[in-house]
Amino acid sequence: MKLLRVRVLFIIIAFTVFGLAALLALSLNREMKSKSEWSILQEIEFSHRLVTDDSTVVFASSNGYDAIGIRSDSMPSLFPAPRFPRVWLLASPEYGQKVKKIPPESNYAITSSDLNLILVHQPRMSPATQKELRQHVVN
């Protein structure tokens, strides 16, 4: 009877350890995918940083991800980094933060017609990104 209890206890501990290891691996996998999304957004921002375009809203894609660039004249300048002429949002992030935006503490404004253009161009945009954009609509 005592040997049976030891075996049952061993099995319970083994399943617990394997379960925790699986959860840790899943968590690390999601974190790595979230970092990959940030890298894609950084690449899009960097490749468009020096592009002069008077459009309030521009769209870009990279590695299967869509991004929205919104012109902003009030971006902070962090020496020696250049000013960021646009705020970039990942349209539909799948991992990590619900809204991925570069620069993260940026301020911008769009009109309701800009928002409508974005919604037409990005019909599968995440609800969190839509909410973020709606909070910056001015009339």
Token digits of residue 109 = 């404004």
Q: Which DSSP letter does residue 85 get?
A: S
| Domain spans, the chain | 33-134
Residue 137 has what pLDDT?
93
Supply the pTM of this predicted model: 0.71
Residue type at 3? L
Residue-wise pLDDT for 34-76, tens only, equals 788 889 999 999 988 877 777 889 999 998 999 999 988 654 5
In whole angstroms, give the CA distance from residue 93 to residue 134.
17
The overall longest dimension of the chain from CA atoms, in Å, is 80
Mean pLDDT (the chain) is 81
Q: Which residues contact 77 (CB under 8 A, 6 or more apart)?
A: 83
The highest-confidence range among 28-37, 79-88, 90-99, 119-128, by mean pLDDT, is: 119-128
Confidence of residue 82 (pLDDT cuts 50, 70, 90): low
